[in-house]
């Protein structure tokens, strides 16, 4: 293929873009600059996009080289006029020797020609691969007309193949026309196949309508069936048969189904009316029996705490049981259910009664053992200095003592005195500790007030580094001060607001300022585990969200074609990826600061 033919096969968008980027007038370049530009252009990923300009530079080079050599020859003759006629052999030697600039030019121009050859070779191989891919797509479209599956599914496969065809690149020029004709031919055959399938489907709709009509007529005939059980089972068979028959035309589906549904409702109503009448007599008996069972259950719905109450309720239970039996029998199924309900409630009543009397015998022993255990636990805790957690445990033990139940005084008074002594010992010690702690908090508050006052008086100087050092010293001193009372915590907010404003006055970069402010924020929540964990969770969640966004952006870029139309969108997405990566690193930095505390 000649050079002109090769250039014509390059994508028009690439060559047009390249020509627009060539702003400099090449004829104005010095001869050395012409060589440099050829070297620069030969680094382009697509040699054909710059081929025209390089050929232009080649022409310019030889014009300028001819002018340069002519000028040099004139200068030599002027300097050595006696050699003009006598030294003709020297002139011939000069004509056969390449100029140094031409040697340099041929080096870079040869490099470009080699790159263009390699590029064309790779592109030819790619076009052959594309040809095989498109030939396979045509074969796959042909197979679709031979497969036994639903029209919808077949058409989905066809759509996927069409999309694959569109995404496949160029093929060799000499194959392009025949390939397109073959593709369009098979697409037309596919659409003819779809049309034929629709005609066959219409025939299937008609057969299905006939079969469903027969099913409907069989259902109508069941209205004369005397056996309700046979009528019901036959109707179920007809419904199962209906499910296995295929669809009918869309405009007839609702009508034929509604007819079959209506006759089914009539048959079911006829059967149900009969059984309702049979059950009606037993229903009243069943209601009365269930009501008696509920009354027996109600006898123990509230906890009975005395022998007298249990004796009275046992007599009432016997009376209700006799009343239940006097109502009479029900039909076989419901009679069995009713007896089961009666046995359940009676068993429940007498089980609770037996449990009550067993528990009464063991209750005194159990209560005493529980109180001994509570007392021993309190004695183990009375010397603890874990004021908060131990205090909660002792309060829980006090509640456990109250809920342990009644025990005889002669057994429990001695245990109670031991328990009370242990509790008083701990709570008196805690009271003294908190008094001392309150004094320490007052001292810490005064220290913080002094630091805050000095911070307010701080003025920035011309030496920013010293100012930053001084402000950090304020932060370090503040961190070393002990705890203060909860109601005085607002002084922390005031301190960090002021020190942040002082940092801002120093004109720090946004990154440094943000880092210092975040360190101050971490200091403000130091000791508050809940706030720290919440901040960590927020940062990790934000990092995960950004990673997912980056992954989605990178996935989107893979779908962009390499052409002028998608380049702005590609750059926009790449910018978003860069921004998201920057934000992720900033969040990771915050997480490190938070972990260091």
Give residue-wise pLDDT tens across range 386-403: 888 988 988 998 898 888
Residue 264 has pLDDT above 90, yes or no: yes
CA distance 334 to 322: 19
Alpha-carbon Rg for the chain, nearest whole angstrom, is: 49
- Residue 131 near residue 175, CB atoms below 8 Å: yes
Tally of CB atoms within 10 A around 345: 22
CA distance 520 to 492: 10
DSSP code for 82 = T
Q: Which residue has the tokens 């020029």?
A: 173
Q: 35: exposed, middle or buried (C-beta count within 10 Å: 0-12, 13-18, 19+)? A: buried
Crossing angle of helices 387-403 and 332-381, rounded to 10°: 130
- Confidence bin at 140 (pLDDT 50/70/90): confident
- Residue 513 near residue 467, CB atoms below 8 Å: no
- Residue 89 near residue 133, CB atoms below 8 Å: no
Q: Which residue has the tokens 């030697």?
A: 93
CA distance 562 to 571: 12
- Confidence bin at 554 (pLDDT 50/70/90): confident
Residue 125 has pLDDT above 80, yes or no: yes
Residue 214 has pLDDT above 90, yes or no: yes
- Residue 518 near residue 590, CB atoms below 8 Å: yes
What percent of the chain has pLDDT above 70?
83
> What pLDDT does 6 receive?
33
**Once rounded to an integer, what is the mean pLDDT over residues 250-270?**
90
- Confidence bin at 194 (pLDDT 50/70/90): low
Higher-confidence residue: 566 or 450? 450
Residue 10 has pLDDT above 60, yes or no: no
Domain ranges of the chain: 3-135, 209-281, 525-597
Residue 595 has pLDDT above 90, yes or no: no
Give residue-wise pLDDT tens across range 46-76: 888 888 888 888 888 888 788 877 766 655 5
CA distance 61 to 26: 10
**Once rounded to an integer, what is the mean pLDDT over residues 256-266?**
92
CA distance 85 to 91: 10
Tally of CB atoms within 10 A around 151: 13
- Confidence bin at 220 (pLDDT 50/70/90): very high
- Confidence bin at 423 (pLDDT 50/70/90): very high
- Confidence bin at 18 (pLDDT 50/70/90): very low
User: Which residues, including other chains, have CB under 8 Å from residue 69's CB and lie 6 or more apart?
Assistant: 99
> What pLDDT does 20 receive?
40
What percent of the chain has pLDDT above 90?
6
Give residue-wise pLDDT tens across range 235-251: 999 988 877 666 778 88
Q: Round the average pLDDT of the chain to a whole number and report it.
A: 79
């Amino acid at each position: 293929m000649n050079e002109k033919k090769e250039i014509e096969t390059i994508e028009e968008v690439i060559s047009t873009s390249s020509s627009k980027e060539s702003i400099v007038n090449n004829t104005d370049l010095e001869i050395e600059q012409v060589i440099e530009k050829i070297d620069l252009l030969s680094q382009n990923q697509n040699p054909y996009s710059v081929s025209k300009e390089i050929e232009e530079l080649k022409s310019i080079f030889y014009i300028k080289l001819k002018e340069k050599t002519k000028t040099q020859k004139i200068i030599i003759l002027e300097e050595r006029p006696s050699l003009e006629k006598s030294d003709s052999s020297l002139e011939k030697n000069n004509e056969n020797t390449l100029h140094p600039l031409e040697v340099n030019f041929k080096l870079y121009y040869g490099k470009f020609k080699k790159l263009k050859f390699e590029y064309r070779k790779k592109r030819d191989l790619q076009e052959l691969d594309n040809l095989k891919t498109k030939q396979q797509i045509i074969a796959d479209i042909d197979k679709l007309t031979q497969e036994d599956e639903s029209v919808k599914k077949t058409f989905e496969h066809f759509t996927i193949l069409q999309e694959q065809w569109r995404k496949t690149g160029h093929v060799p020029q000499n194959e392009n026309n025949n390939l397109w004709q073959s593709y369009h031919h098979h697409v037309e055959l596919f659409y003819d196949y779809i049309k034929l399938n629709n005609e066959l489907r219409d025939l299937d709709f008609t057969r299905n309508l006939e079969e469903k009509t027969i099913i409907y007529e069989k259902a109508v005939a069941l209205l004369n069936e005397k056996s309700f059980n046979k009528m019901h089972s036959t109707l179920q068979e007809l419904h199962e048969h209906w499910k296995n028959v295929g669809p009918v035309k869309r405009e007839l589906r609702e009508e034929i189904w509604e007819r079959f549904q209506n006759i089914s409702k009539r048959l079911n109503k006829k059967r149900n009316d009969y059984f309702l009448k049979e059950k009606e007599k037993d229903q009243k008996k069943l209601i009365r029996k269930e009501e008696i069972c509920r009354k027996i259950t109600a006898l123990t719905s509230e906890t009975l705490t005395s022998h007298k109450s249990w004796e009275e309720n046992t007599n009432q239970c016997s009376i209700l049981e006799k009343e239940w039996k006097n109502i009479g029998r029900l039909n076989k199924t419901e009679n069995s259910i009713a007896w089961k309900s009666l046995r359940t409630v009676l068993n429940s009543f007498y089980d609770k009664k037996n449990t009550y009397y067993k528990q009464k015998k063991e209750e005194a022993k159990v209560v005493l053992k529980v109180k001994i255990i509570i007392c021993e636990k309190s004695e183990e805790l009375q010397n603890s200095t874990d004021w908060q957690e131990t205090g909660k445990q002792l309060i829980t033990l006090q509640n456990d003592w109250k809920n342990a139940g009644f025990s005889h005084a002669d057994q429990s008074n001695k245990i109670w005195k031991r328990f009370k002594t242990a509790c008083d010992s701990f709570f008196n010690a805690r009271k003294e500790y908190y008094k001392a702690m309150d004094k320490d908090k007052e001292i810490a508050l005064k220290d913080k007030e002094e630091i805050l006052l000095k911070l307010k008086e701080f003025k920035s100087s011309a030496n920013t580094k010293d100012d930053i050092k001084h402000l950090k010293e304020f932060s370090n001193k503040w961190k070393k001060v002990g705890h203060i009372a909860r109601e005085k915590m607002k002084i922390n907010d005031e301190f960090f607001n002021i020190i942040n404003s002082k940092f801002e006055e120093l004109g720090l970069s946004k990154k440094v300022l943000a880092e210092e402010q975040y360190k101050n924020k971490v200091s403000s929540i130091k000791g508050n585990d809940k706030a720290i964990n919440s901040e960590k969770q927020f940062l990790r969640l934000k990092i995960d969200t950004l990673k997912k966004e980056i992954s989605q952006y990178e996935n989107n870029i893979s779908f962009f074609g390499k052409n002028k139309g998608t380049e702005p969108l590609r750059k926009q997405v790449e910018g978003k990826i860069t921004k998201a990566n920057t934000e992720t690193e900033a969040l990771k930095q915050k997480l490190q600061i938070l972990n260091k505390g």
